[in-house]
Amino acid sequence: MRSNGKKIEPSEVYRAICECTCAPDDFAQDTRIVEVGRRVWGFHIQELERHRDQVSKWLWFLPQEFRYREGGEFLDAGYQNDRTPWTVNADRIEHLLLLGQAMGLVSPVPGDVDEDGNPMRYIVFV
């Protein structure tokens, strides 16, 4: 997890999102649904639980402002708490925040959305 000075590894975040998500045709009773903007994501609850500790650690490494009531801005989630970037890929940032939302560890700040309804700020509860 800590190669190249990174506490959050983009490839590991990608692996986690791939293992936890399911296609709309596979949504079932044991699927947690997360709606973000105009998109709907389905997550396998058992896979989320299997990845919970790792995702919690990654979220802890985000900048401190994500733990305050105002939350942190979406693109600032591409940095670790020491302000070194862990990714410049907006998809990876979204994946980490989605995993956190599906686990109840992340919440978008209500009312702070872009023109497509995507949250602009998030609060992390770890």
What is the per-residue pLDDT across 4-27, written as a single tens digit (0 to 9) for each?
Answer: 557 999 999 999 999 999 988 888
How many structural domains are present in the chain? 1
Rg (alpha carbons) of the chain, rounded to whole number: 14
Q: What is the dihedral of CA 51, 23, 32, 38, to 10 degrees?
A: 110
28 confidence band (pLDDT: 50, 70, 90): confident
* 31 φ, ψ (degrees, to nearest 5): -110, 130
Does residue 39 or residue 95 have the better pLDDT?
Answer: 95
102 closest CA partner among 38, 31, 1? 31
State residue 2's pLDDT score: 42
Closest CA to 96 of 7, 8, 34, 6: 8
| Secondary structure of residue 115 in the 3-state scheme | coil
Residue 116: the pLDDT is 86
Instruction: Determine the Cα–Cα distance for residues 36 and 119; give it in Å rounded to an integer.
Output: 7
Domain that holds residue 36: 3-124
Residue 97, token pair as written in the block:
């925040």
Q: Does residue 69 surpass a pLDDT of 90?
A: no
Distance CA 96, CA 108 (A): 13
